[in-house]
Amino acid sequence: MKKRLISLAILVLIIVSYYVFTDKKVNWNENLEGNKYEVTFSYFNSKKEIPIQIEKGQLLFFNNIWNFEHGTLGLSIFDPSGVSLETKHKQIKAEKSGIYTVVIYGEKLENGHLIFSWEIK
């Protein structure tokens, strides 16, 4: 009897941990067309990476529009070496050629719509 209770408790803990600690994207509808990434969702607790090829000396100009009911949203851009870059001015000058990665982070976002667009000059 005691072993069954312990087994049941472990099973419940595993199931609860799965729902609490895992990445989730519910009703995730994304579209990447040209230099524009757009997504709608009913729940987002994860991250989304968007790779962008940029040559040394080029400028990446970007714009992001988001609308959601609850939760926290963040955006970071990393250079090809994985170094996080300053994004507050919505432009980045490529110090080296390679794939720059835009990372959109969502923490318990509900009923959202995100648009990330960019231009390289």
Write down the mean pLDDT value for the chain: 88
The dotted CATH code for 23-120 is: 2.60.120.380
| Phi, psi values for residue 45, rounded to 5° | -135, 75
pLDDT at 21: 52
Domain ranges of the chain: 23-120
Q: With CA atoms as reference, report the closest residue to 30 among 106, 90, 97.
A: 106
Residue pLDDT, tens place only, 49-78: 999 999 999 999 999 999 999 999 999 999
pLDDT in tens, 1-11: 776 766 655 65
